[in-house]
Amino acid sequence: MYQDIFPEELSQWQRKGASLIDVREPYEFEMGHVPGTKNIPLGELSVRISEVPDNVVLICASGNRSGRAAGFLSQQGYHKVANLMGGTQGWMMRGREIEL
């Protein structure tokens, strides 16, 4: 099972060692992403699963794709998995910084 988190909770997860993975396509990632994220597109997640640590927050544009990714990782036995609700759109709407 995974947890849906709000942007305000992200720093708590990071302090506890969570890695950030953005599951959008590379062209979307290059247009701006949450600072410190690694890009592993949803379509590549199953073949790149070895790159995903157990403690992870998944991010996409709105929270939909990252929710699917979080569900997949939970099914694969991952225990510390979170989905950033609202994705990068919600992040930016709250005035948070993005990297290009």
pLDDT digits (tens, 9 = 90+) for 82-93: 999 999 999 999
Cα–Cα dist 6/25, whole Å? 22
Instruction: Give the pLDDT score at 20.
Output: 99
Give 39-60 pLDDT, tens digit per residue: 999 999 999 999 999 999 999 9
Could you tell me the CATH superfamily of domain 3-93? Rhodanese-like domain (3.40.250.10)
Widest CA span of the chain, in angstroms? Answer: 34
Instruction: Give the pLDDT score at 57.
Output: 99
| Residue 40 structure tokens | 């592993």
Strand positions, DSSP E, 1-100:
3-5, 19-22, 37-39, 55-59, 80-84
The domain spans of the chain are 3-93
| Residue 10 structure tokens | 């992200």
The per-residue pLDDT of the chain, averaged, comes to 97
* 48: helix, strand or coil: coil
Q: pTM for the full model? A: 0.96
Question: 95: burial class by Cβ within 10 Å (0-12, 13-18, 19+)?
Answer: exposed
Among all residues, which ones are annotated catalytic? Answer: 60
